[in-house]
Structure 1
Amino acid sequence: MNDYDVATAAFARAVLGDRESLVDVALVVGASAASHGISLVEAIETMADLSPGREPPYVAVRSVVEAWTGSAPSPAADADCHDPLTALTSVPHLRTRLDDVYRQAGHRGWEPAVSHVLVVVELGRRGAHALEDDLWGLEVGHALAVAFPAHETVARLAPDRFTAFTHADDADAVGLAVLARLLREGLAGEPEPRVWVERLPVDADAVTWLLSRLTE
């Protein structure tokens, strides 16, 4: 049993009983997860699995995030184009995906403006600090990935704005209803986020303008 397993076992005991040690245990969970190459998302999911109702206390989640970010090695040139904290893709990576789709469409005779969309989620308010925004980002990213699981690219456009680049057929009434339910569950107690479907431009050159507007 490694130190991460020991820490998560201690968290399971603390969350059900000794709440006074919860923050200290959560700090060890975050630091040991980072040292073993375990993603922050996976560490928080483990905490949720060990918590009553899958709702780990906010102070524990915050401590795990602080310890993980303080212990995780710096990513090498952002090789996978993912934010190591939220696991969301970067805007440059999203732009690359868009460029790929437009290039393929040009060769194969279909129109990205018809086949694909961006489903955008904008939070109802900004957090008091960046860490709070990142925690909400985890919830929104998870909701988008679950609601649109087929070939989606989920990216963070701004501190309070997120998107899933997905097939237009998936962004129907059913997909949007699933997204709305997941957002209500994940952001319980927060103002309702704004959700809309952004159509892609016919001209590939207009993608730059679109992303500039969405990332303002």
Structure 2
Amino acid sequence: MPIDKLSKSRPEAAENSSESRVLQLVGVPAGGRHRAKPDGAGYGPVFESLQQAMVTKVSPVAAAAAAGRRLAERGVALADALDAMQHACNTIDREPGYDAMRSLCQSWTECTFTYLSGPSCEDPSTGLATAQHLLSRLSDLYRTAMREVECLPETHVLVVVEPITRQRLDAELTTLAASVLEVFGGTVVGRLGSFRIAAVVALDAHFVERLGRLRSAIGYWPGPDRHSTTGNPRTKVWTEQLPTLPEWSESFIKDLTKP
């Protein structure tokens, strides 16, 4: 069955230590394995101000700093950020220069360590991932798709679950998240706002069957027969197609956190 048949219009914790997170961000390969680098073409919009500054012979330092912050917020490794800047400069036949590279590295570092010293990526009330951590997971998937020349919306989808009842909501969200993990396995389940959770799920050969199992398991309060799927509806379960470009993922997640 096509995925668009399943999609509905919206009805109205990281295990890594801080040290391993830093190593991942600066581009140190895990386990000594070679880590493929993107060619930088996917980050073109981030460097438009930098390119304009260079073409008009204005100092690119401020634009480089802004690009460093934006890439760090998306979870882009420092090595990849530098590669992306070099690629952007090559397209206009310019060299970034030491001052611009230093500015990008400095702003990237400040933004990254602000993130690492900031609030936990775990929601304190439920133990689920925060929306920011779910966004970080999406960034990882976009980079992987870029390296493998794939389109992420064709390989993954966001499964969203929202309880109808709003009593004892934190406990209900935790229970629903356990069901999502039981059905879909190793995925990140994040809390989006006060009333819903979501998980990024692979569109494999078993997706349709698993989504049906999830709806059967958590879609209803039990009726007279505890093993049936009849009774009063208790949850909304739907899918959201992921944005085509990673630049749109932040607003995509932000919209889903709204009631």
Report if TM-score (shorter chain) is over 0.5.
yes
- Normalising by the smaller structure, the TM-score range is 0.5 to 0.7
Does the 8 A contact of 1:123 with 1:191 survive in 2?
A: no
Per-residue CA distance 1:99-156 (angstroms, 9 max, x = gap): 11111211221111111111001111322xxxx111101111111111110x311011
Alignment size in residue pairs: 134
Which of 211, 225, 245 is matched with 1:176 structurally?
A: 211
* Aligned AA (1:145): L
* Aligned AA (2:211): L
Secondary structure in 2 matching 1:169:
coil
Shift of the 184–83 alpha-carbon distance from structure 1 to 2, 3 Å rule, reads same
Displacement of 1:87 after TM fit? 2.2
Aligned to 1:137: 173
Distance 1:82 1:177 in 2: 28
> Which of the two has higher C-alpha Rg?
2
* Aligned AA (2:151): E
Distance 2:172 2:212 in 1: 19
Aligned to 1:158: 193
Which of 155, 160, 168 is matched with 1:115 structurally?
A: 155
Is residue 196 of structure 1 aligned with residue 231 of structure 2? no
Distance 1:191 1:98 in 2: 30
Percent of aligned pairs with the same amino acid: 30
TM-score by length of 1: 0.56
Displacement of 1:157 after TM fit? 0.5
Aligned to 2:255: 213
Question: Which structure: greater helix fraction?
Answer: 1
Does the 8 A contact of 2:189 with 2:198 survive in 1?
A: yes
Distance 2:205 2:140 in 1: 19
Displacement of 1:164 after TM fit? 1.2
Does the 8 A contact of 1:120 with 1:161 survive in 2?
A: yes
Q: How big is the alpha-carbon RMSD for the aligned residues of Structure 1 and Structure 2?
A: 2.2
Distance 2:188 2:154 in 1: 17
Task: Specify every segment of 5 or more residues in structure 1 that has no aligned partner in the other structure, as ranges.
Answer: 1-75
Shift of the 160–93 alpha-carbon distance from structure 1 to 2, 3 Å rule, reads same
Aligned to 1:105: 145
Q: Map 1:46-85; keep pairs closer than 5 Å.
A: 78-79=119-120, 81-85=121-125
Shift of the 184–107 alpha-carbon distance from structure 1 to 2, 3 Å rule, reads closer
Distance 2:144 2:206 in 1: 21
Per-residue CA distance 1:147-190 (angstroms, 9 max, x = gap): 110x31101102211111111226732111211232147x5576
Secondary structure in 2 matching 1:194:
strand
Aligned to 2:5: none
Does the 8 A contact of 1:139 with 1:183 survive in 2?
A: no
Distance 1:171 1:159 in 2: 30
